[in-house]
Structure 1
């Protein structure tokens, strides 16, 4: 064949060059208007509230709201001054999320694993970090650019043949493993470290982030190889969090000494 598939792959990679930076200084590719991402987040959250009941436990709702409010109070001005909506969903999923549009959801199942306010803050802080670092925008932008680049390469790839189909199938798998999944793992690791900083500034004990992931591991770690997972392995997360504890303890401990630590429950 006359077409250069290496050139097609190169074209797919060129569009991935970062054009902005995350809060940690990591180059990122996020091209969609934030207003559009906010609309998508609000729409998704509205649909979720229709489909999943909220918890009727007033005490639990107040505790979750307090943790979220305490974290939001230390966010950059652009995010701190928004009207965040926090909902405790009555569902056994061990999970939480935050969406563009300033929406936060926590599942009651998470409260069985997050044993105290600081462990819950580790999760909520992590999810808030996804919004602040524009990870949703970056993921959507990356997926759009990758699919468009591969589609263009296919159109320019000459006549149809079994060889062409096979090669572009391989390129599609390569893009998933080599671009989209690593970006997702990078997001998760970045959100862990940003969330650790937020919880320390808000007066939650950052050491509890490590214990949270030990609790998660005790519940059964994922069997998916880390290379093919959108999330780092629990052991990797624990190692990275431990490495970043000293600088965050330097933020938290003076607050604790002054009795200014968080007091949600």
Structure 2
């Protein structure tokens, strides 16, 4: 039993050490334990199941908007990956689902779904670009892989702790169970939830850059998140118990990101074209 405990500790430590990689846009170190192929295969199956079980919207106007915005941001992401010499395994697909959920997501490989419930908040192309950039950023940064990897490491560590408790004569079964439950709660509040909030802010920053490179004014993000805050009027848990940063903090952080995002926006062909139009003599 003791040897098994030591073996599990060694395995968990080795997995953590050899599975860390750095996000090229933010410099943050993250735990990635699953292969890209595995994540892409899971994504293909789950996306197909969602589409099979959902009602696809018949709004030609909003579907056209989704394709238009998605195509522009997808090109910006493809360009970024090429410039950064990073692997590009994105095969873009955009679908609008008829559902009251105020939600959207992007799976690994660029499988994207918007729910019609979020459209009254996005309102226009730029508002949709805020959401699109954010959700695609999650996929580019491999946040789903990171969450799965972290869950696996926590589970392995708790297994090692359980074996360690069993080898300790001074701890009875009831106390051991209480210790493990407490450790699981601490792992959630102290590791998983803070990391989820970090991912959200990281996706905010990366999403602003992607939408800016696609020629959408990233300043639109402020109004969008203010509207999202009003839409979510129900009482929310304190931030330390939430997967997402608080609304005020999120908007404050976005304001800090804007100068860099605006730099990319001013380099975009769309901004240059807008400037030319504004400088053109009026008849």
Both structures adopt the same fold (TM-score exceeding 0.5)? yes
Give 1:260 shift: 6.0
RMSD: 2.3
TM-score normalised to structure 2 length? 0.83
Is structure 2 residue 170 aligned with structure 1 residue 162?
Answer: no
Counterpart of 2:245? 232
Mean alpha-carbon deviation: is it higher for 72-81 or for 60-69?
Answer: 72-81
Q: Distance in 1 between matches of 2:197 and 2:236?
A: 16
Q: Any conservation in 1 of the 2:73–2:210 contact (CA below 8 Å)? A: yes
DSSP 3-state at the match of 2:122: coil
Q: Distance in 1 between matches of 2:88 and 2:224?
A: 25
Question: 38, 41, 64: which one pairs with 1:39?
Answer: 41
Cα displacement string for residues 121-175 of structure 1 (whole angstroms, at most 9, x for unaligned residues): 0111011011110111100000011011101210121354222111111101001
Counterpart of 1:243? 256
Counterpart of 2:23? 22
DSSP 3-state at the match of 1:156: helix
Is structure 2 residue 259 aligned with structure 1 residue 258?
Answer: no
Q: Distance in 1 between matches of 2:155 and 2:22?
A: 23
Q: Distance in 2 between matches of 1:81 and 1:151?
A: 34
Is structure 2 residue 184 aligned with structure 1 residue 172?
Answer: yes
Give 1:112 shift: 0.6
Q: Distance in 1 between matches of 2:157 and 2:43?
A: 26
Q: Distance in 2 between matches of 1:237 and 1:140?
A: 24
Flag structure 2 segments of 5+ consecutive residues without an equivalent.
1-7, 276-283
Give 1:81 shift: 7.3
Give 1:189 shift: 0.7
Is structure 2 residue 118 aligned with structure 1 residue 110?
Answer: yes
Counterpart of 1:52? 54
Counterpart of 1:134? 142
Distance 1:134 1:179, change over 3 A: same
Give 1:257 shift: 4.5
Q: Any conservation in 1 of the 2:136–2:207 contact (CA below 8 Å)? A: yes
Flag structure 1 segments of 5+ consecutive residues without an equivalent.
1-7
TM-score normalised to structure 1 length? 0.89
Distance 1:260 1:103, change over 3 A: farther
Q: Distance in 2 between matches of 1:79 and 1:260?
A: 33
Q: Relative contact order: is structure 1 or structure 2 higher (C-alpha 8 Å, sep ≥ 6)?
A: 1
Number of matched pairs: 254
Question: 100, 104, 112: which one pairs with 2:108?
Answer: 100
Counterpart of 2:280? none
